[in-house]
A and B are shown apart, each in its own frame.
Chain A
Amino acid sequence: MTLLLVILIPLLGAMLPPLMMRWGRGASAGSAILVTLAALGAWGSMVPAALRGEGATFKLPWIPALGLNLSLTLDGLALLFSGLILGIGLLVVLYAKDYLYKSDPMGRFFAYLLLFMGAMLGVVLSANLLLTVVFWELTSITSFLLIGFWGHRADARRGARMALTITGLGGLCFLGGALLLGHLAGTFEIAELTSLRDSTLSHGWYVPALVLILLGAFTKSAQFPFQFWLPQAMAAPTPVSSYLHSATMVKAGVFLIARLHPALGGSEVWFYLVGGVGLATLLVGAFLANLAYDLKGLLAYSTVSHLGLIVALLGIGTQYAVVAAIFHILNHALFKASLFMSAGIVDHQAGTRDLRSLGGLWRLLPFTAPLALIAAAAMAGLPPLNGFLSKELFLEQTLELPFAAGPWWLVPALATLGALLSMGYAVRFGVNTFLGPQPKTFPKPPIEPPWGMRIPVALLVAGCVAIGLLPDLLGAPIVELAAAASSYLEVEGVHFALWHGFTPALLMSGIAIVGGVGLWYLQRWFVPVFDQSIPLPSGERLFRATIAGLVDLSRSAKRAFHPGKLQTAIAWMILSVVLLVGSALLVKLPRWTPSPADIDPSLLGGVALLLLAIGAALYFHRRRAVSLAILGAVGLLLSMGFVYLSAPDLALTQLSVEVSTIVLMLLALHLLPAQSVKERVGLHHLRDGVLALGAAVVVGTLTWLLLIDPPTSATSAYYLAQSKPGGGGTNVVNVILVDFRGFDTFGEVIVLGIAALGVYAMLFGMGLPTRWTRPETPDESAYPLMLGVVARVLLPLALVVGIYLFLRGHNEPGGGFVAGLVFSAAIILQYLASGIGWTQHKMNIPFHPLIALGIFVAGLTGVIAIAFGQPFLRSWFEYYHVPILGEIELASAMAFDLGVTLTVVGGLLMVLVNLSKLPRSTSVRPLTLAEEED
């Protein structure tokens, strides 16, 4: 439980600094310090047990289905890293308190920092690989926030995004690799993975999983070829660089390699991949550091190089190589953090980080300068500092490699070269900044910074010296414990000493030191050469070019494929359906000879008429009114077709809809030009033609398949059988509509209502006039007298016909829908004949409530059934004998039909009447031919 607290305290405590800002910066920083101390306290309470080898563990199931559990452990490796995170974290908080400028939002800074601390602790304390992934990504995110802290600076933004992208890519690869590993091993718990090492190494997925996981580690630790993001991240405030990008976050990759070494290490692939990348990074980083002008950039490349050293050692993988690696993790953290802080002091006090503008600062910063120089010496690997010890060990390990790597002297020579280059840049850092001549002026007059910035440096440097002098006492115990946790081999009896005698490693160190000094002398000649004439391949430039290129590609692809034209979209749709269904037909269509069907000769005449009319409508498609007239004929012929197929209800419906459709279309056509734009014939017409043909073939084939083998449907037999006894009507079509499938009708009627509402809302948005006045001098042709008289006479007749059709619908062709259409047509005729003003004055029908009433009535018939304990929409009917009239039938279906009628009338009229008001709207005027677009 305490283990969980160690992680939770910084994560939750991150809320405190922003809240405390209202009491000032001091309070905010104080809260950050307190939180860190609390976490340190919790951690400290578990240290004694951990040092004895009985580290605390914690487990809470989170997502068992994925194998992801909240498993934590405090073994040696975790102990070392968590100590570094918390200890250096405390020092960084102290440092940052005085470093941050007055204008920086301190609360937010400490919040991000504490969040990062918690996430990083999660990474190192986790005992479940997927949990590590979770915290891993959290560190990437918090690092992004911290690098971009000075968000107003373009370089900070770019650096943050680049860091996030590269580490994010690595994180995704890590996730993939972890999932593969978990699948092949059957578990994500790291302790169990360790014991399964042999079977893991021999599995076919070992190499892919390993490569993916290593990609994650390499990107995080800025190993070659991913090293370019780290210098860009130097745009962050220095406390961030010191904490994240030297001591903790970039070490996460190394941590992962160490953590998984017992589970995945020992194979040839491991040796060559890890070792090779590490060695390459060591050299590349050290080389680039020699070329750097920016203090922080130099330190960044140096970090990359030292991480490469550690990675190379872990690649070698022998017991002492692992010990050396762990030891160097500790040492590097100490001296690098202090170096970054000193560079920060220089930057903060002198106003510049550029080596070309610095020099001779030992006079002006008498406290900081010696500390920085000692730290630089540790970085270079000079005795008697801690850096020397671990570098010696490194050089020693390169002499005994477990696998072949070229001639015996190659790797040691390269290692020595790396050490040489390290010496070179270390001297460059120390001498060019603090020693030598002073420049004329500094951007700011340098004086020593507040104690809050000097004490952390002093403490860290003291650590370097102490470990250098007493390594066995101070370093060995923890290193041994951590190394044991990082190796699948036994690690015990670790001893460090400054003097081992005249070993080959000592010789190599000596060469490196002397050569490094010499290199420093040569820098003044070869650095400018690289600067001006030899352009090095810049990962950073490549990265930015790639992203920019992808964005441009995306935009041009969208312009090409998404021009916002309907034709493109529909073409794709037709293509998809033709390919999809057509291919299935090709595959599955049995080869049979179609039996010749008997064709009724009278049908031929009707079909010919229909095809002729459709063809004409297409031919005249540009002349809209003509086309509409022909479409009216098509509708009429279609009704005749329904008559032929013995479907009177359909014929009635088609005929009554014709009227409303023509009126609707004409209302719209009034606002459009009489002719549509003439298109130029182009390639897209060929495309359209082919697609249309394909679709026609597919749909035609499907129709033919349906017609030659009609289904025997139990449902249709059931409907026919049950229509009178169960539904109470002999018109089975109507009974289907209102009873068997009444719920569908309910839905469709609602659709009609919604359509009307939507149209109204849209027209309202276009600005319909609220009051309607008749024009001052009514034109004779607007309201022809004959039409008015006929309309008036026709209204009651049409209403009677409508009622008649409504009442008999259950047993004869007719029904609520047709009745509603007839009513609407009759009323529309009034509007047509006498105008909106007159008609609305005479009968002001509220359309919204009418639609609502219709739906309500239809629904009510269904709900009433529920009140009687029956399912929704269960119909009821009874026959009554009435004197004179005879037998009449009362059915709930009639009430349902009434609802349908009301909705149809309301919806149709709402659309037509409001559409006709449009020409008088405030913002609409008819389009001219030139303005029309497709």
Chain B
Amino acid sequence: MNHLILAPILIPALSAVIVLLTARADLRLHRSLSLLAMLLSCSASIALAYSAFSGAPQVYAMGGWPPPHGIVFVLDRLSATMLVLLGVLGLAALLYASQGWDARGKNFHALFHFQIMGLNGAFLTGDLFNLFVCFEILLIASYGLLLHGGGQERLRAGLHYVILNLVGSAFFVIGLALVYGGSGTLNMAELARKLTVASPAEGVVLTAAGLMLLFVFSIKAAAVPLQFWLPAAYANAAAPVACLFAIMTKVGLYGILRIHGLVYGLDSPHIVRYAPFLLLVGGAVTLLVGAFGALGSRGLRELLAWLVISSVGTALLAIGLLGTEATAAALYYMVHSTLAAGAMFLLAELIREQRGSTGDLLRPGPNVTQPTLLGGLFLLGALTVAGLPPTSGFIGKAAVLASATHRPEVVATVYAVVLLGGLIGLVTLSRAGSVLFWNLGPSPDIQPRAAGVGRVLPVLLLFGLTLGMSAGGGPLLELMTGVAAQATDTSSYIDVVLRDSGGHR
């Protein structure tokens, strides 16, 4: 068996442990160690992706206990995609943080790597309770990271974030109890198998469980009306933390894809017939609410937070459309929006610093110290986020719209919603750009320092990747189609995981 599958979990855990054991050592040592670890786990993720895309899914039984009784890790194409995405994003965020942010509080690198560990675990696990545990790890690390840097606003936003997510976790546990109560197992593949043979009585409990889990994942994904935790949290987080948080909502979407797309099957009778409809409507409402909320934002980071919500809506909409093509579009869009949001949050921080006391408020203020660089990057970012060509945002949006043409009964509504959301996004970002870079007030006496290479490089890296996603859109969409096909093929998933129960005991 291939132990490499553990690398995305163990490498971050080990580096966090070493950082803690040497808690009194110099911060520079921690930085180098941390960066090295991130680089290693990112490379491991890429290696895993290579094997996942060229072969069958791999199953790893923890402790040697055979599925469905023990905990399993399952590496399929969907997991691999998310692993690579996280690796790249984490690398960029860490690079940025190492330029100074990590010194503004305690235990940054340990918390950071624990969060990476939790995220990787969530993407790899094939066991529902283990998913909960990994959610807990990533959530609690994110609380710590959110509070990093201190300050009144951050503490208040952090408090709300903690409490709302705790409520979500409580309901997750209730959902898990329902799953076990209805099926007698916590293993995803076994649950999928049970769902195909469930009796009517068991079916009620399993349906309730599925909807409860949908609720929990929607909280994580910040779908309306469960998005209240996001705007304040993202707007007040430290820049590298906000960058990493760009993938947090995608964890919720991953959960929906995995549990409802794969285990339950979105058109199965056990999840109520109106589940895809819920996703469609919920996605549409989220899209518009997010765009609308961005329009009325007073600060750049708040604006970006609302646009993140809007992008979640688009992805939900695409998932609700059903079908390999639509799911592939959703996946492409998820990857694009994560990279773009991460880059934009880092950029927003650079802009904020260079505008003196005005900060990132969207009113006339002094010119930034590096108008060409930041203005150009902002333009690129705005195009990417708004979905204008030739960026990956355009390709993602076009892919979603193209897949909607296969559902004539909803195509008009979907088009209206997506295009309207796109227009509002366009208006919002052009207003923001105009006030940040054109509508300039008097210059301050002391011009803030220009951003160094160390902090611009992560932004360039992430934007470069989105441009690569656009240029290589053809092969990438094909890859995503393969991912989508495998991610909805319930019967082969059951076969691969449960066949392995030849066991080692």
Contacts and interface: CB of A to CB of B under 8 A. Distances in A.
Contacts of A838: none
A312 B24 CA distance: 79
A849 B155 CA distance: 27
Nearest to A588: B204
A751 B144 contact: no
Contact of A709 (B6, B110, B186, B201): B201
B214 A580 contact: yes
Contacts of A761: 105-108, 111, 144, 147-148
Contacts of B164: 566, 569-570, 573
Contacts of A169: 423
B307 to A, nearest CB: 13
Given A547-B427, A870-B64, A748 B296 contact: no
Contact of A572 (B225, B272, B438): B225
A658 interface: no
Nearest to A570: B167
B385 interface: no
Contacts of B202: 709, 711
B207 A584 contact: yes
A554 B6 CA distance: 47
Given A713-B185, A747-B133, A755 B402 contact: no
Nearest to B200: A590
B182 A711 contact: yes
B70 A766 contact: no
Contacts of A581: 208, 211-212, 215
Interface in A115-164: 130, 133-135, 137-138, 141, 144-145, 148, 151-152, 154, 156-157, 160-161, 164
Contacts of B474: 61-65
B160 A179 contact: no
B390 A750 contact: no
Contacts of A758: 107, 111, 140-141, 143-144, 147
B82 to A, nearest CB: 18
B504 interface: yes
B101 interface: no
Interface in A603-652: none
A554 B405 contact: no
Interface string B14-39: 10111111010000000000000000
A180 interface: yes
Interface in B179-209: 180-187, 200-205, 207-208
A711 B481 CA distance: 38
A584 B272 contact: yes
B183 A711 contact: yes
Contacts of B296: 551-555, 557-558
Nearest to A712: B184
Interface stretch (B46-54, B86-94, B251-259, B391-399): B391-399
B334 to A, nearest CB: 17
Given A566-B163, A587-B272, A743-B63, A550 B295 contact: yes
B427 A157 contact: no
Interface string A808-823: 0000000000000000
A172 interface: yes
B130 to A, nearest CB: 6
Interface stretch (B227-235, B239-247, B343-351, B456-464): B227-235
Contacts of A849: 20-21, 23
Given A148-B438, A576-B215, A849-B21, A176 B389 contact: no
B114 A754 contact: yes
A757 B144 contact: yes
Given A580-B211, A744-B130, A66 B477 contact: yes
B63 A148 contact: no
A156 B438 CA distance: 10
A714 B187 CA distance: 12
A713 B430 contact: no
Contact of A180 (B61, B405, B424): B405
A823 to B, nearest CB: 20
B323 interface: no
A172 B215 contact: no
B389 A134 contact: yes
Contacts of A66: 395, 398-399, 402, 473, 477
Interface in A419-470: none
Interface in A827-871: 846, 848-849, 851-853, 855-856, 859, 863, 866, 870-871
A851 B19 CA distance: 11
B450 interface: no
Interface string B217-239: 01100000110110110000000
A564 B156 CA distance: 10
Interface string B415-437: 10001001110110011001001
Interface stretch (A366-374, A401-409, A524-532, A872-880): A872-880
Residue of A171, A589, A761 most packed against chain B (CB within 10 A): A761
A751 B133 contact: yes
B394 A134 contact: yes
Given A719-B69, A871-B63, A711 B181 contact: yes
B167 A765 contact: no
Contacts of A154: 439
A160 B140 contact: no
How big is the A interface, by class? 35 or more
B174 interface: yes
A706 B201 contact: no
Contacts of B218: 576
A566 B21 contact: no
A699 interface: yes
Given A63-B477, A557-B292, A713-B180, A176 B440 contact: no
A712 B136 CA distance: 28
Nearest to A744: B133
B444 interface: no
A589 B204 CA distance: 6
A851 B13 CA distance: 12
B62 interface: yes
B300 interface: no
A164 B388 CA distance: 12
Given A152-B440, A169-B423, A702-B174, A183 B21 contact: no
Contacts of B61: 871
A543 B10 CA distance: 57
A65 B325 CA distance: 9
Contact of A760 (B107, B186, B389, B397): B107
Contacts of B422: 172
A762 interface: yes
Contacts of B295: 550-551, 554
A757 B71 contact: no
Contacts of B143: 758
Given A569-B164, A581-B211, A757-B144, A872 B3 contact: yes
21 contacts: A63-B474, A141-B388, A145-B379, A152-B438, A164-B430, A165-B423, A168-B427, A550-B424, A554-B295, A569-B164, A573-B164, A575-B225, A577-B215, A590-B200, A715-B184, A715-B187, A758-B147, A765-B149, A852-B20, A859-B13, A859-B14
Closest 3 CB pairs of A and B: A554-B296, A758-B144, A151-B438
Given A134-B394, A176-B401, 19 more contacts: A65-B328, A66-B395, A135-B389, A157-B434, A164-B426, A169-B423, A180-B415, A562-B293, A713-B184, A747-B134, A747-B137, A750-B13, A750-B137, A761-B107, A761-B144, A764-B105, A846-B23, A852-B17, A871-B504
Interface of B: 1, 3, 6, 10, 13-14, 16-21, 23, 60-65, 68-71, 105-108, 110-111, 114, 117-118, 121, 129-130, 133-134, 136-137, 140-141, 143-144, 147-150, 155, 160, 163-164, 167-168, 171, 174, 177-178, 180-187, 200-205, 207-208, 211-212, 214-215, 218-219, 225-226, 228-229, 231-232, 272, 292-293, 295-296, 325, 328, 379, 383, 388-390, 394-395, 397-399, 401-402, 405, 411-412, 415, 419, 422-424, 426-427, 430-431, 434, 437-440, 473-474, 477-478, 481, 504-505
